[in-house]
Amino acid sequence: MRSKKAFKNFIANIIMQLVTAIIGFILPRYFLTVYGSTINGLVSSLKQFISYINIVEAGVGTASIVALYTPLAKHDIKEVNAILSATRIFYKKSGYIFALLVVSLAITYPLFVNTQINYSITFWLVIILAGSGVIEFFIIGKYRVLLTADQKSYVVSILQTVATILNAVISIIFMKLGFNVVIVQAVAVVVYASRSVFLVFYVNKKYPYVNLMAKPDMGAIHKKWDVLFHQIAGLIVNNTPVVILTVFSNLKEVSVYSIYYMATKAVHLIVTSFNSGLMSGFGEVIAIGDKDTLQKSYRLYEYIYYLVLAWAYTSAGLMLNSFVQIYTRGVQDVNYVRPYVAILFIIVGVANNIRIPPLTIINAAGHFGETKYRALWEAIINLSVSVALVKPYGIIGVLLGSICSFAYRTIDFIIYTNKHIILQSSAKTLCRLINNIVLSCISIFLFIQIFKMQINNFIEWGLWSCIVGIVTLLIIVLGNSILEPDSMKEVLIRFYKINRSFKKVQHENSRLGF
């Protein structure tokens, strides 16, 4: 059952991530050509500042999801309602604080960029871009928590996919008709707001026993403060580059950073889509104390994840620089093609994504208090190195700050998870990482020394991307099959069982006339 739910979550999430990635390439290009690098940099900067304000969520979502694992596994409806009621109350309180901080940001932020952008434009962009956050706090949050904990995050993914497509189509139409950036961004909020109607309808239909007004169990979410600690550290680590560039550089440099970030973020989303829904599955296994299943499932998960990671970032590393060159062609107000920046972004992406398997287990186990000071050190390293290097090295400086902090924390994640939760040696993980690095280097060497890629437009880029993707996948899959044949055999058996299960369900539905 857990495998089937995980598979549904995976399919829905990977479709959502692919759609998000494709549209994430299309919309910024329109922004650059229609509004210029300064507006593009402004929107990117504002989104990062608003993400800081989102910290008032105070870890409620993650803490609530972890708290729901046990009562959902035991079908304890009373406790499920008590936790959801507490979640609703916390989200509502956080929503009011969020709205107040957004207004404060809307008043003060424009003062820092008023020499580059009109005050009123910046003011209204802050208000509008924060709209989705308001909806999350007051409507969507509590329902998303329930579906995620019950391994049905595919519902949220489907709604997100539809909303993303609608937003892109309407935004492009509005830009072509000559509407200003404020109106275009307002459209996105209206579209995303429509998700809440369908989400509420689905939960009310599928979970008729849910009572959000039940007596709340505030103590069940006691880990929210430890989660908050991690979220603050995470915000510093993940959003510091744009904030530091905004303060110490200019919005055009922020725009350059945002283009490379957009491209590598798409890769990140595709890789982590495999991770969708697995935290709740591992949480259920941990909640019932099945250590053997936990170890076996984690080893297989780690094996597949690192294979996908190696393939995705090797392919991205070979194609990123040419993508940016074509994508920003015709934009003359700042130089976007920076090979060293491209290389560092790939290193940052790899270092950041290596941690995902152990991080998933730590979150599933609820080890927030045990690891919070480790997160603090990561944030300190990131912030101090980035601030020290941004003046002399610009974007490269903040990327080096990210690499330093990720290097420390990723190693720490691997050691902690294997030692304290999985209860096994970290040597296997280290060997898998080395194996995939070697296979990636073989692929890179092949395309640099043998193939001579000549790319002048997106059609050629697309063709070469297919070639790179296929060849790299063959090398990495074949290499992992040779180096770990038993693991590859287990992967094939697992997929065969899932496929057979789905065919059986389809046959039953057909027999019953559905």
With bands split at pLDDT 50, 70 and 90, how would you rate the model's confidence at 343?
A: very high
Residue 328 tokens, joined = 């920003």
CA atoms within 13 A on the CB side of 292: 0
Asked if the model's pLDDT at residue 90 lies above 90, the reply is no
The letter for the amino acid at 39 is I
With bands split at pLDDT 50, 70 and 90, how would you rate the model's confidence at 510?
A: very low
Mean pLDDT of 29-48: 80
Contact 40, 123 (CB under 8 A): no
3-state secondary structure at position 477: helix
- Tell me: the pLDDT tens digits for 360-397? 888 777 777 777 788 888 888 988 999 999 988 889 99
Contacts of 66 (CB under 8 A, 6+ apart): 223, 283, 363, 364, 366
With bands split at pLDDT 50, 70 and 90, how would you rate the model's confidence at 49?
A: confident
Contacts of 136 (CB under 8 A, 6+ apart): 144
Q: Which residues of 26-55 are buried (b: 16+ CB within 10 A; e: fewer)?
A: ebbbbbbebbbbbbbbbbbbbebbbbbbbb
Residue 104 tokens, joined = 């404060």
Provide the 10 A C-beta neighbour count for residue 213: 9
- Residue entry with tokens 């995620």: 148
Q: Whole-angstrom Cα distance, residue 417 to residue 426?
A: 9
Mean pLDDT across the chain: 81
Q: Whole-angstrom Cα distance, residue 399 to residue 241?
A: 7
Asked if the model's pLDDT at residue 421 lies above 60, the reply is yes
Mean pLDDT of 52-59: 68
Q: CA angle, corner 154, sides to 214 and 169, nearest 5?
A: 110
With bands split at pLDDT 50, 70 and 90, how would you rate the model's confidence at 511?
A: very low
Cα–Cα nearest to 371, from 242, 274, 234: 234
Phi, psi values for residue 27, rounded to 5°: -65, -45
Mean pLDDT of 440-456: 85
Q: Whole-angstrom Cα distance, residue 402 to residue 388?
A: 12
What is the pLDDT, as a whole number, of residue 73? 76
With bands split at pLDDT 50, 70 and 90, how would you rate the model's confidence at 58?
A: low
- Tell me: the pLDDT tens digits for 264-285? 888 887 787 766 555 555 655 6
3-state secondary structure at position 162: helix
With bands split at pLDDT 50, 70 and 90, how would you rate the model's confidence at 507?
A: very low
Q: Greater confidence, 57 or 475?
A: 475
What is the pLDDT, as a whole number, of residue 397? 92
Question: Percentage of the chain surpassing pLDDT 70?
Answer: 88
Asked if the model's pLDDT at residue 311 lies above 90, the reply is yes
What is the pLDDT, as a whole number, of residue 283? 56
Q: Which residues of 132-171 are buried (b: 16+ CB within 10 A; e: fewer)?
A: bbbbbbbbbbbbbbbbbbbbbbbbbbbbbbbbbebbbeeb
The letter for the amino acid at 3 is S
Question: Percentage of the chain surpassing pLDDT 90?
Answer: 15
Asked if the model's pLDDT at residue 228 lies above 70, the reply is no
Dihedral sign from CA coordinates of 74, 78, 84, 86: negative
What is the pLDDT, as a whole number, of residue 276? 58
What is the pLDDT, as a whole number, of residue 391? 87
- Tell me: the pLDDT tens digits for 137-165? 888 888 888 888 887 878 888 888 888 88
Cα–Cα nearest to 28, from 40, 16, 38: 40
Asked if the model's pLDDT at residue 43 lies above 90, the reply is no
What is the pLDDT, as a whole number, of residue 437? 93
With bands split at pLDDT 50, 70 and 90, how would you rate the model's confidence at 72?
A: confident
Phi, psi values for residue 334, rounded to 5°: -160, 150
Gyration radius of the chain's alpha carbons: 23
The number of residues making up the chain comes to 514
What is the pLDDT, as a whole number, of residue 399? 93
Q: CA angle, corner 198, sides to 197 and 204, nearest 5?
A: 95
Cα–Cα nearest to 491, from 292, 311, 300, 277: 300
With bands split at pLDDT 50, 70 and 90, how would you rate the model's confidence at 441?
A: very high
**What are the helix (H) ranges across 355-426?**
356-365, 372-393, 395-417
